[in-house]
Structure 1
Amino acid sequence: MLLISNGHGEDLIALKIIEALRNQRPQLTLKVLPLVGKGGSFRTATEQGWVQQIGPSAPLPSGGFSNQSLRGLLADVIAGLPLLTWQQWRCLRKQRFQVDAVLAVGDLLPLLMAWGSGRPFGFVGTPKSDYTWRSGPGRDLSDKYHALKGSEWDPWEWLLMRHKRCHLVVTRDRLTARGLRRHGVRAEAPGNPMMDGLSNATAPASLSRCRRILLLCGSRIPEAERNFSRLLLGLTPLPSDRPIAVLVALGSTPGLPALGAELKRQGFRSSPPPSEALQAGACWLKGHVLVLLGPGQLEH
């Protein structure tokens, strides 16, 4: 089986799926084709030899968000996106007779790649949710467009999902799956694989009296830094009869220096960490709000 993914989060979801497949079918040969970035999430699995990474890979300036802005698209084009995509497509066409099935994780590009392989395929649609237009103000043109369609996904995507070789469509929530089913797509929403493997843990004694809030700002630059700034602004005015501990789970990016600069701008001061497990520069304090930065914790 070949899994195609197009982004850091999508790589992590694909990794969770292939870990489950390996547990159930250890004899299954698993291959991955990351379309964005170097596929770092698969490094341990490939080094251990139970996953094979194929195709060319390269980091992109937009981090996979070239469809979000003209500037991001131009930056990716200049960095060689068209040639990279063409090379990945050629690799897929060469590999199509060596795999029995393809699973695409992401949006239109991996879905199109899976369809173009000519093999039976499935699709895990990660970036789109009908909650974005059904639960919001619904005033902008994008919301009106999605309301007219009755789905965040577009007609050309429905067409690919309805193809006779597409045997599985999974969405991030039931509302989105219901919207797709109205357009003839047999969509399901069993849950997000990124949540698999999470377990309960006892809070450190130093935080036991705090009201604890988990903050997830993402991992793509510069979006993650903007998310961190906005989420932090929304948290600091919260009244509380107890101290508030904001636990920030981070990937390899953004880094501590960038977040530290933003914390300082919002009036926080660096503080000695309450635990020896935390590195210097990871603990910040402002009034009754304690912010703890956890690099590498987004993947755990």
Structure 2
Amino acid sequence: MNAEPGFLLISNGYGEDLVAAHIALKLRERLPRACVAGFPTVGTGAFYKNMGVDLAGAGATLPSEGFVRSISDFTKDVKHGFFPETFRLGRRLRQAAGAFDYLVPVGDAYILLFTSLFTPHSAARKIFVNVQTSEWYGSHKPFKQHYSFIERLWTRRCSRLVYVRDRRTMDFLHRRGIAQARCCGNPMMDCFTVHERAVLPRDRSIVGVLPGSKQEAYDNLKVVFDIVRLMAKRKQINNYAIALSPQLSVDKIACAYSLQPAITGTDTGLPAGDRRLYTRFSMKDNPSEIFISQKIFGDILNESIAFIGTSGTGNEQAAGMGKPVFGFWGRGPQITEKFMRAQKRLLGPSLILSPPDPELIANCMTELLCDKERLEEIALNGRERMAGRGSIACMVDEMIRYVKHTLNDE
């Protein structure tokens, strides 16, 4: 055994990879001699690699990309080898896990069950971080939204330390006999950085845009730019900052919506090749200015007064920063009416949900942005439901205390 215990973080989705990678970095910071690695069960683990976290293995890329929304999605995965690949993945995980003292499954209850079936580690050697399930959904839908009876059963039996994303869910589990449930906050709120000084121009109000990370974002942006034009005609907000995923193309958006590059915002404190933080675009026959960036997601969250959002995690993070999110559904595959209505239950008044009707959304924005009392209520609501800045440091410190305690008992 190493001088310090080893940790293997096992995740089952891209958002889960991001959380797990941040936990890994914090563990490495607190325990410099510990062996810490990641094991993504979906995809190749790009977040781990980009953040300098070693991989002990990786999973396959199935059509659903770990985001199973329907029987149809599951059927496609089955046709592409879901069952044989699951068993091959389980064997690889078992081989990798042998080199680590503690396993940290990150995701939903499925990844805890999967880890428990394929590894010999006891419940005391598994620390479960559930970043998906929340009682704020007000749903009885198992996995992703609600802790069903069967999930509570194997959670109780498979892990002696369980982290959930909000206190409401922790209280629910305590009432159901899972005393080991803990809450430090939503770790997704720790997965972005904010500069100490303002990055975007400070002499204007800016509305952020969160189009999501999948290809459907290009179509959803058509509604966004229609809203921008309507708000300009009303002489309302004229400045927008689009937080664009690295998986999407700035040039494609500029071409599709006739945006003209005006100026590039830079940070002279960064290395020469990395100073470009955003590009400012102008619109034809429209006074609005559009800032597009693939680097300052956290600053856009922090500096915008409100958001137009067709994102999953991004909408939640914006709400967690106390900002109102004007959301609408598209044609999918992710941002469907069903998905957005579930997110509305999760976020409550922080998400102002509408059909993809630019006129209706512009009316909602005009009304709400002048209502200070509602804005204050929305800020409090979002921070309560999505609270989590500093949660990963809190979790890791508790994990280390737990590990020392269990090692002493052994």
Coarse TM-score class (shorter-chain normalised): 0.7 to 0.9
Partner of 2:262: 273
Which deviates more from structure 2 when the two are superposed, residues 207-216 or residues 118-127?
207-216
Question: How big is the shift at 1:159?
Answer: 1.3
Which deviates more from structure 2 when the two are superposed, residues 250-259 or residues 151-160?
250-259
1:114 aligned to 2:115? yes
Question: How big is the shift at 1:214?
Answer: 3.2
Q: How many residues align?
A: 274
Partner of 2:303: none
Report the Cα distance in structure 2 between the residues aligned to 1:256 and 1:20, rounded to whole angstroms: 32
Specify whether residues 194 and 244 from structure 1 end up closer, same or farther in structure 2 by C-alpha distance, changes over 3 A only.
Answer: farther
Instruction: Determine which of 129, 146, 156 is the counterpart of 2:150.
Output: 156
Report the Cα distance in structure 1 between the residues aligned to 2:225 and 2:169, rounded to whole angstroms: 29
Amino acid at match of 2:69: Q
1:105 aligned to 2:98? no
Question: How big is the shift at 1:5?
Answer: 0.6
Question: How big is the shift at 1:55?
Answer: 2.8
> Is 1:247–1:291's contact at 8 Å kept on the other side of the alignment?
yes
Question: How big is the shift at 1:297?
Answer: 4.2
Report the Cα distance in structure 1 between the residues aligned to 2:64 and 2:212, rounded to whole angstroms: 14
Report the Cα distance in structure 2 between the residues aligned to 1:112 and 1:3, rounded to whole angstroms: 14
Instruction: Determine which of 41, 46, 54 is the counterpart of 2:47.
Output: 41
Instruction: Determine which of 281, 284, 300 is the counterpart of 1:283.
Output: 281
Report the Cα distance in structure 2 between the residues aligned to 1:215 and 1:174, rounded to whole angstroms: 29
Specify whether residues 232 and 170 from structure 1 end up closer, same or farther in structure 2 by C-alpha distance, changes over 3 A only.
Answer: farther
Instruction: Determine which of 121, 126, 133 is the counterpart of 2:131.
Output: 126
Specify whether residues 63 and 203 from structure 1 end up closer, same or farther in structure 2 by C-alpha distance, changes over 3 A only.
Answer: same
String of CA shifts for 1:38-95, please: whole Å, max 9, x gaps.
101111455xxxx431234333332221x20233323333333333322110112223
Partner of 1:64: 66
String of CA shifts for 1:154-180, please: whole Å, max 9, x gaps.
2221112212x5122222222222222
Amino acid at match of 2:281: C
String of CA shifts for 1:215-248, please: whole Å, max 9, x gaps.
33432x2465566566777777668876443322
* Superposition map of 1:203-282 within 5 A: 203-204=198-199, 207-219=201-213, 221-222=214-215, 224=217, 243-256=237-250, 259-260=253-254, 264=257, 269-277=258-266
Identity value in percent: 27
User: What SS does structure 2 have at the residue aligned with 1:274?
Assistant: strand
Question: How big is the shift at 1:212?
Answer: 2.2
Report the Cα distance in structure 2 between the residues aligned to 1:7 and 1:36, rounded to whole angstroms: 6
Partner of 1:192: 186
Specify whether residues 275 and 112 from structure 1 end up closer, same or farther in structure 2 by C-alpha distance, changes over 3 A only.
Answer: same
Partner of 1:3: 9
Structure 2 gaps, min length 5: 1-6, 267-275, 300-410
> Is 1:243–1:290's contact at 8 Å kept on the other side of the alignment?
no
Instruction: Decide which structure has greater helix share.
Output: 2
User: What SS does structure 1 have at the residue aligned with 2:291?
Assistant: strand
1:202 aligned to 2:197? yes
Partner of 1:169: 162
> Is 1:3–1:104's contact at 8 Å kept on the other side of the alignment?
yes
TM-score, normalisation: structure 2: 0.57
> Is 2:254–2:260's contact at 8 Å kept on the other side of the alignment?
no
Amino acid at match of 1:283: F
Amino acid at match of 1:110: I
Report the Cα distance in structure 2 between the residues aligned to 1:113 and 1:167, rounded to whole angstroms: 16
User: What SS does structure 1 have at the residue aligned with 2:78?
Assistant: helix
User: What SS does structure 1 have at the residue aligned with 2:263?
Assistant: coil
Report the Cα distance in structure 1 between the residues aligned to 2:295 and 2:282, rounded to whole angstroms: 18
Question: How big is the shift at 1:288?
Answer: 5.5
Structure 1 gaps, min length 5: 134-142
User: What SS does structure 1 have at the residue aligned with 2:96?
Assistant: helix
> Is 1:211–1:242's contact at 8 Å kept on the other side of the alignment?
no
String of CA shifts for 1:4-37, please: whole Å, max 9, x gaps.
0111111110111011100110111112110111
User: What SS does structure 2 have at the residue aligned with 1:273?
Assistant: strand
String of CA shifts for 1:264-294, please: whole Å, max 9, x gaps.
3xxxx40323325469987354846433222
> Is 2:107–2:131's contact at 8 Å kept on the other side of the alignment?
yes
TM-score, normalisation: structure 1: 0.75
User: What SS does structure 2 have at the residue aligned with 1:191?
Assistant: coil
Report the Cα distance in structure 2 between the residues aligned to 1:64 and 1:188, rounded to whole angstroms: 26
Which deviates more from structure 2 when the two are superposed, residues 18-27 or residues 208-217?
208-217
Specify whether residues 96 and 279 from structure 1 end up closer, same or farther in structure 2 by C-alpha distance, changes over 3 A only.
Answer: closer
Question: How big is the shift at 1:210?
Answer: 1.9
RMSD: 3.4
Partner of 1:139: none
> Is 1:15–1:42's contact at 8 Å kept on the other side of the alignment?
yes
Report the Cα distance in structure 2 between the residues aligned to 1:34 and 1:101, rounded to whole angstroms: 16
Partner of 1:55: 57
